Structure 1
């Protein structure tokens, strides 16, 4: 069986890739276990693994244009976004984790004089990762870097719609001298390929980025089988909290609100899809936000001037349009956007949309839309802002716009989210952990040295001396 890869920009056929069956997943897992047991990768010194990963990063940099084009075509992402953000970020991730390979350290606790005790972090052996379609290359690098640096063999399943950049990286890994079977890309869909990875008892750890529904299924499968370690980074409904003094940020305020809401056409788990603005400045902020949204260039993702490309497919477009129309029918006002834009036949392009006048409890305020849609609500007090921010089941990210340190800390500490940025829309760099709370995931499972905890297990060694 196979999967057809479709260009979201115009509906054209791009490629055909295999749909990996459950039996094939089992064979790949067995092969990966043999490679791990052979110690051709796991037995290397950390610096030797690091050197190979640095070579991989160098090759990715050499082929940056190709990688950007593949993600642009598969995911409909603007080429400018791929070249400026996704590809450089992926390369940086591989290099960062390569450089961290020899920084993993255990501990030697204080014990009795006749005892030597210490801890080590060891690789699981065979591990797996299941990727989303919105950031194919960038998310792959977040998994590849720490999993391989720690000495594991990784089975990597890209999203069924966006496999080609990851397949290219698999080839580059071999060119970099990483042994065959250390990184294996298994193309396929969730119900067949992804489910088989979740159920395989030989896979010691699995990282998933995607929908909350699928994350629940993976966690349940892991519980029924070998209790493999599972990390989940799932949906979001992130608030952007604009305090009364936020106009002091000048253009940076609206630029940040727009980037948060509309980057990757809003198809982003951390998208700032809820703007919460103090009532004293609401009119001005809404007017400027609507003007900036209207000015965004919706167009062909291959055009370097394009800022908003197509949404991923017809089903997504229909769902997003229905959510907008439903909100408007219940009294919301689209002060910007609200419909589709004709760009290329066969693609679905939506205008960046700003909705105001929403009634408390409107479904669009709590449902992840995953499209270029931002809602605006007002508040009068800091406590009210925090309550509105926390009025969802998700808890991935949030932004706070204020120059008042007291407000910044109070709101950042009060918001139930895994990462909160102040005076910016940011997920932080590779030095800090990333992950959500609540229905957004487990928190802190990606990036930084904390990412190695997903891909290694701790062992205590206790030695009785003098006997």
Structure 2
């Protein structure tokens, strides 16, 4: 049986059996039977909510263990896991559990003698394919709304980061969620992921990951049962900084640093393209580079570590090749641009900052998914917007300006699904999250609208007699 090994050098001899395509078919068949049995789908929504709330309590009980698994598998700094990822996942489960009884249909004024209404129903068997950078947080965004509305969910974690999600599967059983309602299937994308995308029993599939893989999933769905596909993919997010933004002082620097380097830049909303007004470019760049150079690369388990290793040696090589290509074309490397030895077995890319990058350089358009930032300058609002939109992606952006009318005007002009003003933020659970263009489509990951990707709408037309 093929085995999965978590991220190289990070988790000792831990090996996990990889799910085959045949096993995927067996599990989806079992999930379908569970759905039709009504042991979960037939419950009152508040009963399902109660079970999910128990799951959240158990995740909170095991929070330290979940954080340790995330740290070991993904190489994420333990502090990130403890302070952000695990609490965020728990909050997501609770929020969707408490929100599910707010999901309603509509009635329509069709005239006398007629009752016209809609309701939302679960698909039955649904699937989710997760990325490796935020395994638990992304799992919670999908598990909670999918299960809350009554589906059976088959979930494939990334082959390098399966263990925290496997633990949540165990906790779901402990919480009283029936066997087969949540099925976690570790495996490769080429086999298990492809099998899920092609399985005719699956009515909806949510994917978070690369644009290249998203295209393959769409093709597989089109060639089989035309299942609903929701895609949240890559990004090349701009951080637009106007001259008056210096009024925000250290908050400006700390948040642009966080946007660029959180999770070693392995974040789909990472602000990897900084666009700064020429009037403050020199001062901003000096302060930004100084703050980036102070970030601590270290053992992910050390709570003082700011940046851990990237996911693997191949990723590091690819990132640094793009930096060297830009340098050869005339870009100036202000910081980093190298792999540095920190912890044996880990691949650490130093925080890297470039400016004077030629407009045609691929480093400005391709998502590198690492701690690499470019700085470009602009002279006016129109140029800032043009630079921000010079990308096939459209996931996130930040706009910094003390003039709120300009900030709103630019936010509306930037082509992105999520725009934060005078901050780096993806919003909280009450606001929707999703991308445009090559960043994805087909669903929203947060807010009440997240239920839409896990349910389908049915119109009911009743003729009234008498």
Task: Compute the displacement of 1:11 (Å).
Answer: 5.1
Instruction: Report the equivalent of 1:51.
Output: 50
Bigger mean CA offset, 201-210 vs 354-363: 354-363
Q: Distance in 1 between matches of 2:269 and 2:107?
A: 39
Matches for 1:117-266 after TM superposition, within 5 Å: 117-266=116-265
Contact (CA 8 Å) 1:155, 1:183: kept in 2 or not? yes
- Secondary structure of the equivalent of 2:298? coil
Q: Distance in 2 between matches of 1:11 and 1:113?
A: 68
Task: Compute the displacement of 1:52 (Å).
Answer: 0.2
Matches for 1:360-375 after TM superposition, within 5 Å: 360-375=359-374
Task: Compute the displacement of 1:5 (Å).
Answer: 2.0
The C-alpha deviation readout for 1:160-203, integer Å capped at 9, x for no partner, is 00000000000000000000000000110001000000000110
Bigger mean CA offset, 433-442 vs 339-348: 339-348
Q: Distance in 2 between matches of 1:104 and 1:31?
A: 27
Q: Distance in 2 between matches of 1:102 and 1:12?
A: 41
Bigger mean CA offset, 106-115 vs 260-269: 106-115
Q: Distance in 1 between matches of 2:442 and 2:305?
A: 33
Q: Distance in 1 between matches of 2:122 and 2:362?
A: 44
Contact (CA 8 Å) 1:7, 1:14: kept in 2 or not? no
Contact (CA 8 Å) 1:311, 1:348: kept in 2 or not? yes
Q: Is 1:84 the counterpart of 2:83 in the alignment?
A: yes
- Secondary structure of the equivalent of 1:15? coil
Instruction: Report the equivalent of 1:331.
Output: 330
Task: Compute the displacement of 1:12 (Å).
Answer: 5.2
Matches for 1:308-457 after TM superposition, within 5 Å: 308-442=307-441, 444-457=443-456
Q: Distance in 2 between matches of 1:449 and 1:322?
A: 42
Contact (CA 8 Å) 2:443, 2:452: kept in 1 or not? no
Contact (CA 8 Å) 2:6, 2:15: kept in 1 or not? no
Task: Compute the displacement of 1:14 (Å).
Answer: 4.2
CA RMSD of aligned residues (A): 1.0
Contact (CA 8 Å) 1:276, 1:377: kept in 2 or not? yes
Q: Distance in 1 between matches of 2:13 and 2:170?
A: 19
The C-alpha deviation readout for 1:116-171, integer Å capped at 9, x for no partner, is 12110000000000000000000000000100001000000000000000000000
Contact (CA 8 Å) 1:5, 1:74: kept in 2 or not? no
Instruction: Report the equivalent of 1:287.
Output: 286
In the superposition, the TM-score normalised over structure 2's length comes to 0.99
* Equivalent residues, number: 466
Bigger mean CA offset, 80-89 vs 343-352: 343-352
Contact (CA 8 Å) 1:78, 1:304: kept in 2 or not? yes
Q: Distance in 2 between matches of 1:34 and 1:444?
A: 26
- Secondary structure of the equivalent of 1:204? strand
Task: Compute the displacement of 1:3 (Å).
Answer: 2.6
Bigger mean CA offset, 232-241 vs 18-27: 18-27
Unaligned runs of 5+ in 2: none
Instruction: Report the equivalent of 2:69.
Output: 70
- Secondary structure of the equivalent of 1:6? coil
Task: Compute the displacement of 1:452 (Å).
Answer: 0.6
Distance 1:228 1:316, change over 3 A: same
- Secondary structure of the equivalent of 2:195? helix
Q: Distance in 2 between matches of 1:443 and 1:25?
A: 24
Task: Compute the displacement of 1:336 (Å).
Answer: 1.5
In the superposition, the TM-score normalised over structure 1's length comes to 0.98
The C-alpha deviation readout for 1:253-275, integer Å capped at 9, x for no partner, is 01011000000000000000000
Q: Distance in 2 between matches of 1:352 and 1:123?
A: 45
Distance 1:68 1:14, change over 3 A: farther
Contact (CA 8 Å) 1:4, 1:13: kept in 2 or not? no
Q: Distance in 2 between matches of 1:426 and 1:239?
A: 13
Q: Distance in 2 between matches of 1:354 and 1:260?
A: 13
Q: Distance in 1 between matches of 2:38 and 2:246?
A: 58
The C-alpha deviation readout for 1:226-261, integer Å capped at 9, x for no partner, is 110000000000000001101011100010110000
